[in-house]
Structure 1
Amino acid sequence: MSRKRETPSADTPSPDTPAADPDRRALRADCANCFGLCCVALPFAASADFAVDKAAGQACTNLQEDFRCGIHARLRDRGFSGCTVFDCFGAGQKVSQTTFGGRDWRQAPETAPRMFEVFPVMRALHELLWYVTEALALPPARPVHADLRRARANLDGLTRGSAESLAGLDVAALRQDVNALLVRAGELVRAKVPGRRKNHRGADLIGARLRGADLRGANLRGALLIAADLTGADLRSADLIGVDFRDADLTGADLTGAVFLTQAQLNAAKGDVTTRLPGTLSRPAHWSSERFRTT
């Protein structure tokens, strides 16, 4: 029998959370139906993001018997801000309830090694599904929609495979194939933006002063924007897949229409009520106590 718990995601969105997207509902974390896999399967090292070291397969000391986090409401204060920005894209409940049929690793310890091995694979598949689903909702990307639909069907089928088949997947090869489609989708979206569009793909922009910068339609794929000042920057229609926004200041920035932006990226950044977001994402609760309205 599956075990449920009423635990929100690590960085709970504000009350104005957008209405559920039926195409992505299964790609959003449902901690109530997960066996705390992110708290066990993944390793972390003592750093600014984590207060202690933890090996892969070792349960976090804050994980309780019911799979709840004992310091959930105080993660940032206790030195575990890294937990608040992690997103499994729904992989946790998929592995817990589908791949392993609701058998948790505590009651069935023989499942633990394979379950922990499969979890990061499932997360990679669900992350790709998230991006592919977004690309299919972008009208300018229509020329690659047929290929994207085939990719989504293939990825979905893989997520429903056995634990053994999941463990044997070549995730790197899958990423490469799907990424080619996502690159093209991003190009098609950015091509609709008039004027010269900046290319900062993979750029080291750590601490960059980009206050009020015109980055509309920019290619920022994989860029390092850690602690960058993006106050009031225009990021509309920019390709933001893989951008590291840790501690970046997005106060007053306009991210409406930005493509491949995720909730985890926002959770890692700083912002406030003036930050404009895509309608599918929410202002992180830690930004401020004020309510925020997406556009």
Structure 2
Amino acid sequence: MAHIPDMTSDCANCAALCCIALAFDAGEDFAIDKPAGLPCPNLDGGLGCKHYGHLEAEGFKGCVIYECRGAGQRVTQELFEGDTWANTPAITAPMLDAFAAMRRVHDGIELLLVAERLDLPDSYEAEREALLEAYAPDDGWTEDSLAAFVKSDAPQRLATFLPKLRDFV
């Protein structure tokens, strides 16, 4: 059986990965433009947000509604053993790559868990379980295994599998 990770964001155990990885476009959801890969200027020295607690009032509704589904803390704690890009700048690019990959993994897990509620034929259920094993391996992820996963056929297999479920929704 697949090892389903905690899919709840835990910002206290993350390295503010969404605040560096994601791009912001000034508008209804963000008060500023910020390119992907650069830290948000609202981050404080402890990787907390200067506007936390009143983000929406400061024009950062997008930050309030963003959900990484636990990918941030998994990357920070499991793959980088609690280290941060702020403490060790050399890990910034690998950490951001891992965050993007882990977000894909967690998105896939979420879809496969929703599909579990459907009344699928045995062959589809077997395919769903095999995909879940690929997305949530028992031995977890390393930087290398996560990078290999992104290049594997699993993401394409999921993309091919999901449309097959239309008749069961």
The 1:80–1:24 alpha-carbon spacing in structure 2 relative to 1, beyond 3 Å, is farther
- Determine which structure has greater relative contact order: mean sequence separation of CA pairs < 8 Å that are 6+ residues apart, divided by chain length: 2
The two structures have a TM-score, normalised by structure 1, of 0.51
Distance 2:139 2:110 in 1: 13
Partner of 1:273: none
Contact kept? 1:122, 1:159, Cα under 8 Å? no
- Mapping 1:52-67, distance limit 5 Å: 52-67=32-47
1:140 aligns with 2:141: no
1:26 aligns with 2:26: no
Distance 1:123 1:88 in 2: 6
Contact kept? 1:125, 1:159, Cα under 8 Å? no
Shift in Å at residue 84 of structure 1?
A: 1.8
Unaligned runs of 5+ in 1: 1-22, 190-295
1:170 aligns with 2:158: no
Distance 1:159 1:81 in 2: 37
Structure showing greater Rg: 1
Partner of 1:69: 49
Partner of 1:181: 161
Matched letter for residue 7 of structure 2? L
Unaligned runs of 5+ in 2: none
Shift in Å at residue 150 of structure 1?
A: 0.8
1:221-268 deviation line (CA, Å, top 9, x unaligned): xxxxxxxxxxxxxxxxxxxxxxxxxxxxxxxxxxxxxxxxxxxxxxxx
Q: How high is the sequence identity, in percent, across the aligned residues?
A: 32
Partner of 1:43: 23
- Mapping 1:106-255, distance limit 5 Å: 106-136=86-116, 138-143=117-122, 144-157=124-137, 160-167=140-147, 169-170=150-151, 174-189=154-169
Shift in Å at residue 183 of structure 1?
A: 2.7
Matched letter for residue 128 of structure 1? G
More helix by share: 2
SS across alignment from 1:40: helix
1:80 aligns with 2:60: yes
Partner of 1:263: none
Distance 1:157 1:24 in 2: 8
